[in-house]
Structure 1
Amino acid sequence: MVMQRTTLPRAARGVRWEGLALSVDGPARPPLCWEVADGGRLVLFQGGEQADRVVLLARQRVTHRGVHYVRTGRYASPLTPLRADLARKHRQACPDDDDAWFARWANHFADGLRDSADGPLHQGDWQLTRGMPSGWDVAANWERLPQHDPAVGHITWFGYGDPDEDRRDLLPLRPLSAPDAPRVKAYRRQYREGVLPPVLVWWVGGLNSLVLLDGHDRLAGALAEGGRPAVLVLARESSERWARWVARPIIRDYEARLAPLEQACADGDASATILAGAASRQLARQLRDLETAPDLTRSWPLPGGSDAWDALARHHAPGWHPDPTR
């Protein structure tokens, strides 16, 4: 696999480092991939070229208020374990520069994903960005995660509170280890020292959620210390054509709001100057969000369709009968 990298935001200097754009030349189908069938059925496979290990099964609700899921316990991180000396080395190299620290880890994860025989990268354009997406970093959801992360569960969408305890921003692909597990205790120490590496998450459109690719024990360690880990998000990159299309009405609205404010500024209205500045900052945020907005997650048809998915569900989750009609 050949990977080309570009720093985000593109063609900008003197601004906060946001992430990496990754251009990948293959494979056409990755070893960690989603297959889908009618009725909102999804299955995540992993396992080298065959990709035959079932990691997760899910079924969307027809009401578009959530998705039922079951984890099989067969997931393996696509990245090699991180050594404590590497964590300390990266922090010592840039003790007061979070941009440089995030950039080091983003490149480390990009290297690992490129070389992995169990990862999700396939041909196309990707982004590896800093921090949780806007609207996906709710404090209550982080606090709830250690106590409510069932292997057979449900993710509530769009804040309907249906049920409320199923609202989440992140779905681990395997159970989180106990706070007193040896590896978690080691990561708790790293968190206290300020050297804990970020966790790597993956945006999955079919779940309308982020899933945890690497760092389950790092996440458990940070949560056990009453905090949160740093996050790097992997997602497919939206096309420039789509971004320009979405940006047009945003820019038109900005220009319409700015025109009377510019005239008021010329007339000496101090409040208009403040409002014009706020409108410009809002536009900058909106355009930045467009640059890092994820594209749809690629999936493949499940051979055998819904009957094959139902057979997988019976085999890997006996007695699981998700109700998609609610």
Structure 2
Amino acid sequence: MMTGNRLLLAQRTDPVLFAVVHADRYGVDFLRTDRYQSFVPPLRARTTRAYEGSTDRWAHRFADVLAASPDGPLHDGRWVLSPDAQLRRWNHGRLPHAEYWHSMLIDGDPDGYIDWFIHNNSWEILPLRAIPDADDSRVKAYRKQARDGTLPPVLLLWVSGLDCHLILDGHARLAAAIAESTEPALLELRRTVPQDEAATATQQAVAAYEVEVARFTGLRAIHGPGIPDGARAAGPVLARRLDELRTEHRPTWAWPLPGGEQEWYRAVRRHTATGSWEHA
């Protein structure tokens, strides 16, 4: 929910994150309430062994949980759950995994700052609760799976209003991957093109493809087989456009906060130990 430059992220009616976007649009101050509860049931060791590190199999499992859970982030619209999170591409092999993924975590317990210029477009990761230490019992259990290559993926939600990823499930798993300096498997949840827009754009893309095929057919009739085949020339363009319509990012929705700015302030006071927050 949003009022002016102030945001409130809630799980049902329970606030889990307050945020204030800077007037200069350089970043966001945030306050975490540490009241977030993962909606994903505990991942059993037997299931983990059976999945053998298959991100595709975990994607199906998480998709089922997301669709069934009233505490998850899904609302009307089209969504993508993808293992191809763009933040995986920033390292280019320059840094050890432990150093890189630790650098992608946004500091702040319980409050901090999201710098929108630290990685150009900030594809960082904001935990919704504190990342456990490497010697935490859950992390220790996951570290063996990280070494074995069977560690379940970390479930992330891309939020455009914060310009970062939130950890929906897998705080301890990410800590284990960092402790073992292995690249964590990721599943990124994000909004994509609405169905009606995708249908219209698909028709337009197919129509443009057919025009190109007809144009190349005419050219081949005049100039002979030295002219490329129309389907071969126009096909890749169509394929790319259809893939974009299936997977491209769309802004995260936000709804007006009932009660407006005054309710945002009241919520901050209710959910902070001191009744105040310096950025409120």
Corresponding residue for 1:120?
73
CA RMSD, 1 decimal: 3.7
Is 1:36 aligned to 2:2, yes or no?
yes
Q: What secondary structure sits across from 2:190 in the alignment?
A: strand
Q: Partner letter of residue 107 of structure 2?
A: D
1:286 Cα deviation from its structure 2 partner: 5.3
Q: CA 1:52/1:79 → structure 2, altered by over 3 Å: closer, same or farther?
A: same
Q: Percent identity?
A: 38
Instruction: State whether residues 80 and 192 of structure 2, in contact with CA within 8 Å, keep that contact through their aligned partners in structure 1.
Output: no
Which of structures 1 and 2 has the bigger CA Rg?
A: 2
Corresponding residue for 1:110?
63
Distance 2:44 2:127 in 1: 21
Corresponding residue for 2:169?
214
Give aligned pairs, total.
Answer: 265
Q: Looking at secondary structure, tell me which structure has more strand per residue.
A: 1
1:267 Cα deviation from its structure 2 partner: 9.2
1:311 to 255, 266, 278: 266
Q: How does 1:1-326 map to 2 (within 5 A)?
A: 35-37=1-3, 39-46=4-11, 51-91=12-52, 101-122=54-75, 124-134=76-86, 137-139=89-91, 142-145=101-104, 148-151=106-109, 152-157=111-116, 161=117, 167-243=122-198, 284-285=239-240, 287-317=242-272, 318-321=276-279
Q: CA 1:135/1:167 → structure 2, altered by over 3 Å: closer, same or farther?
A: closer
1:149 Cα deviation from its structure 2 partner: 2.2
Distance 1:116 1:281 in 2: 38
Q: Partner letter of residue 78 of structure 2?
A: W
Deviation per residue, 1:127-160 (Å, 9 max, x gap): 34222444674237624045x5213122233xxx
1:288 Cα deviation from its structure 2 partner: 1.9
Q: TM-score, normalised by structure 1?
A: 0.66
Deviation per residue, 1:259-297 (Å, 9 max, x gap): 99xx8x98979xx99xxx999757644542331123333
Distance 1:135 1:79 in 2: 23
Instruction: State whether residues 79 and 112 of structure 1, in contact with CA within 8 Å, keep that contact through their aligned partners in structure 2.
Output: yes
1:300 Cα deviation from its structure 2 partner: 2.6
Q: Partner letter of residue 36 of structure 1?
A: M
Structure 2: tracts of 5 or more residues without a match: none
Q: Partner letter of residue 109 of structure 1?
A: F
Q: What secondary structure sits across from 1:300 in the alignment?
A: coil
Q: What secondary structure sits across from 1:299 in the alignment?
A: coil
Distance 2:264 2:197 in 1: 33
Instruction: State whether residues 77 and 195 of structure 2, in contact with CA within 8 Å, keep that contact through their aligned partners in structure 1.
Output: no
1:109 Cα deviation from its structure 2 partner: 1.2
1:315 Cα deviation from its structure 2 partner: 3.9
Distance 2:166 2:233 in 1: 35
1:68 Cα deviation from its structure 2 partner: 1.8
Distance 2:79 2:126 in 1: 20
